[in-house]
Structure 1
Amino acid sequence: MRLNYEETGPADAPVVLLGSSLGTTHAMWAPQVGVLAERFRVVAFDHRGHGESEAPPGPYTIDDLGGDVVELLDTLGVEQASYVGISLGGALGLWLAENAPDRFHRFALVCPPSNPAENAQMWTDRAATVRAEGTRAIVDATLGRWFLPEFTDIAPVREQLLNTSDEGYAACCEALSATNLQPGLKDITAAVLLVTTEQDTSVPPETVIPLASAIPGAHLEIIENAAHLVTYSHPELVNPLLLAHLS
């Protein structure tokens, strides 16, 4: 599977991969890339079915999506990297920590769903809606969950959602509908930073906070007055956490 990606920063610096949320592209990391690239070789990628990555017919599985990331490391000739992921990208981070521990040093996981299969019907219903009506059918509700009303600079993210392959989005929903990463949390050995927000209705903080005790040595940060896509809306709060953890 060929994933589209963009590299920034020194070619000989430690590598950090950036995995984005469902329905967005690597462009959602614009508030982080410049800061991280001062110290790291930053590789921001598009999940399969997103952006300019290939969009094969679904359904997909979390193994497919995680395997794509490991294959990307192989393509780049990178033995080990660190990983930052949000939402779907956060779930992938948990999968990678459990299934490819030899390939990663550190993980920073923002609002990561660890057991989306608990709400399987919601995901399969959303997949059906998007296949029938396109991502335009879910864009307003999605943005309403991702940002608080006072944050209005959402046009770029709206465009990413609207331009996402309907099949790619739906197939990733189906991957989430069958994903439960909780049984493997106790076996994670990498250093993990968990970030949640007080007003996240997509992946509520009460589902993220327990991960800090389930993952050995994990560190938890709770950001106030922010919703789900906090990397985009509050980079001034998130970026220092990432730099401190990854350095």
Structure 2
Amino acid sequence: MRDFRWPPPPDAGPRTYGPGPSAPRTGRPALPEPETELVDTPHGVRLERLITGSGEPVTVFAHGLGSGIATTRPLGSAVAGRKIFFQFRGHGRSDAPVGPWTYLDLARDLRAMADLGGATRALGVSLGAGALCRLLVESPERFDRVVFYLPAVLDEPRSPAVRQRLDDLLDAIESGDESELAEEVSRELPPAVRNTPAGWAYLRQRLEQLQRDGLAPALSTLPDQFPVRDRSALASVTAHALVIGCAGDELHPAPVAEQLAQALPNATLHIYDKPGVLWTERADLRARISDFLNG
């Protein structure tokens, strides 16, 4: 039987317990984080940004609640052209102005990054998908192509489980207890991945970033909000859309993805059959996203 343990084995493990091989196995370390920059925006909030690739088209990537650039980069690895990754307010090195914040504030962050970089395409993950929805309600013709990966909320508040997960993460960061924080971050991983070299590498990188930059307490009000008052407002969106959901994901219910795809006039929907898609279906996911955005 294998279980999650912290701190990790000094030789990068994982260790296994019980019957079967018990020797540590060396894992490939996580890639070092690339150098980012702080960018001034028209609405007065400096945001952390990373630009990779070159040429056209330009795609902006918006991360999920409590995540950041590192977790969205794999989604763009096969996408052509220039790619803009950024941190929403309260994440990473981005500013954390006085809250409370709304999805309108997040949409402003996303719009600023898109406008400054000349992006014609966008991908939003969870919270980022909500910000993208709000931006499109305000400017339905802003993008040519959009991807919504694991949308979590549309026109109704998120489940209490989301608020609890975020509160637990914020408390663990505030406590300064590395083991407690590691336990919370490990919940982001599928159980089968938690004691593997890839899981340890992800965990180390996330811990380093959260311990260095933290998360703004003002983020705690976002789980009670939703991006659009009425999903019918998305009927004017002109962009071609790809909506990707997942069955069995408590934090990103598949019905939300289905509702979003129905509300958008030019949408394709794909639902994976189990959570942990970025770990279990990474090649298919990357190909699905790049085929759509490169089209």
TM-score of the superposition, structure 1-length normalised? 0.81
Contact 2:152 2:158 in 1 (8 A): no
In structure 1, the partner of 2:253 is 204
In structure 2, the partner of 1:4 is 48
In structure 2, the partner of 1:100 is 139
Matches of 1:129 and 1:150, distance apart in 2 = 22
- What amino acid maps onto 2:148 in structure 1? L
Kindly state the Cα deviation for residue 41 of structure 1 after the two structures are TM-superposed.
0.5
Equivalent residue for 1:220, pick from 269, 279, 282:
269
Contact 1:24 1:161 in 2 (8 A): no
Kindly state the Cα deviation for residue 119 of structure 1 after the two structures are TM-superposed.
3.8
Contact 1:198 1:224 in 2 (8 A): yes
In structure 1, the partner of 2:95 is 54
Matches of 2:62 and 2:257, distance apart in 1 = 18
Is 1:88 paired with 2:127? yes
Is 1:148 paired with 2:214? no
Max radius of gyration: which structure? 2
Q: Deviations over 1:172-208 (max 9, x none)?
A: 3413422242612333222111001123111111232
In structure 2, the partner of 1:34 is 77
Kindly state the Cα deviation for residue 64 of structure 1 after the two structures are TM-superposed.
0.8
Contact 1:114 1:181 in 2 (8 A): no
Matches of 2:279 and 2:69, distance apart in 1 = 12
In structure 2, the partner of 1:244 is 291
Kindly state the Cα deviation for residue 31 of structure 1 after the two structures are TM-superposed.
2.3
Q: Secondary structure at the match of 2:100?
A: coil
- What amino acid maps onto 1:81 in structure 2? T
Q: Secondary structure at the match of 1:181?
A: coil
Matches of 1:156 and 1:64, distance apart in 2 = 33
Matches of 2:229 and 2:279, distance apart in 1 = 27
Matches of 1:167 and 1:29, distance apart in 2 = 17
Kindly state the Cα deviation for residue 218 of structure 1 after the two structures are TM-superposed.
1.2
Is 1:186 paired with 2:228? no
TM-score of the superposition, structure 2-length normalised? 0.70
Contact 2:68 2:92 in 1 (8 A): yes
Contact 1:55 1:167 in 2 (8 A): no
Between stretches 124-133 and 46-55, larger displacement belongs to 124-133
Distance change in 2, residues 1:71/1:182 (3 Å) = same
Q: Deviations over 1:146-168 (max 9, x none)?
A: 43212233345544367445552
Distance change in 2, residues 1:217/1:73 (3 Å) = closer
Contact 1:58 1:167 in 2 (8 A): no
In structure 1, the partner of 2:112 is 71
Of all paired residues, the percent bearing the same amino acid is 23
Contact 1:139 1:162 in 2 (8 A): no
Distance change in 2, residues 1:69/1:30 (3 Å) = closer
Kindly state the Cα deviation for residue 17 of structure 1 after the two structures are TM-superposed.
0.8
Kindly state the Cα deviation for residue 19 of structure 1 after the two structures are TM-superposed.
1.0
**For structure 2, which runs of at least 5 residues remain unmatched after alignment?**
1-44
Output aligned runs, 1:6-25, within 5 Å.
6-10=50-54, 12-25=55-68
Matches of 1:123 and 1:197, distance apart in 2 = 16
Greater helix content? 1
- What amino acid maps onto 1:148 in structure 2? P
Matches of 1:235 and 1:54, distance apart in 2 = 32
In structure 2, the partner of 1:160 is 206
Matches of 1:47 and 1:155, distance apart in 2 = 26
Between stretches 50-59 and 111-120, larger displacement belongs to 111-120
Matches of 1:201 and 1:51, distance apart in 2 = 25
Matches of 2:104 and 2:201, distance apart in 1 = 29
